[in-house]
Structure 1
Amino acid sequence: MLDTVREVYTPEGVALRLPAAGPVPRALAWAIDFGIRMVLLSACSMVFGLLGSAGMGAYLICLFAVFWLYPIVCEGLFDGQTPGKRALDLRVVSSDGAPVGWLAACVRNLMRTVDMLPFGYACGLVSGLLDPWGRRLGDLVAGTMVVHVPKLRDSAMLAANAPALPPLQPLLPAEQAAVVAFAERAGQLTPERRIELADIASVVTDAYGEIGVQRLAGIAHWLLGKS
Structure 2
Amino acid sequence: MKIDNQINLETAEGIDIQLTPAGIGVRTLAFVYDLLIRVVIVAAAAIALSFAGKMGIGLILIVVFLVEWFYPVVFEITKGQTPGKKSFGLTVVYDNGLPVNLAGSLIRNLFRAADFLPAFYLLGGVCMLLSSHNKRVGDYIGGTMVVYKEAPIRMSYFSFDKQQKVDIKLDEETQKSVIAFAERSKTLSPQRQQELADIMSPITQVTGPEAISHLKSIAANLVGKT
Regarding TM over 0.5, the answer is: yes
> Unmatched 5+ residue regions in structure 2?
154-171, 173-226
* Structure 1 counterpart of 2:127: 127
* Structure 2 counterpart of 1:82: 82
What RMSD, in angstroms, separates the aligned Cα atoms of the two structures? Answer: 2.2
In the TM superposition, what whole-angstrom CA distance separates every residue of 1:172-217 from its partner, at most 9, and x where no partner exists? xx9xxxxxxxxxxxxxxxxxxxxxxxxxxxxxxxxxxxxxxxxxxx
- Tell whether 2:71 aligns with 1:66: no
Change (3 A) 1:3 1:117: farther
Q: Is the 8 A contact 2:20 2:151 kept in 1?
A: no
Q: Is the 8 A contact 1:115 1:136 kept in 2?
A: yes
* Structure 2 counterpart of 1:114: 114
Q: Is the 8 A contact 1:4 1:21 kept in 2?
A: no
> Unmatched 5+ residue regions in structure 1?
154-173, 175-227
Change (3 A) 1:96 1:120: same
The alignment partner of 1:76 has SS state of helix
Q: Is the 8 A contact 2:93 2:99 kept in 1?
A: yes
* Structure 2 counterpart of 1:14: 15
Question: 1:31 Cα shift?
Answer: 0.2
Report 1:95-114 matches (<5 A). 95-114=95-114
Q: Is the 8 A contact 2:19 2:151 kept in 1?
A: no
The alignment partner of 2:145 has SS state of strand
Q: Is the 8 A contact 2:49 2:57 kept in 1?
A: yes
How many pairs are equivalent?
A: 153
Change (3 A) 1:5 1:151: closer
Question: 1:8 Cα shift?
Answer: 1.5
Q: Is the 8 A contact 2:50 2:56 kept in 1?
A: yes
Question: 1:93 Cα shift?
Answer: 0.4
Displacement over 6 Å in runs of 4+: none
In the TM superposition, what whole-angstrom CA distance separates every residue of 1:70-129 from its partner, at most 9, and x where no partner exists? 011111111x20000000110000100001111000000000000000011111111111
Q: Is the 8 A contact 1:3 1:20 kept in 2?
A: no
What is the TM-score normalised by the length of structure 2? Answer: 0.64
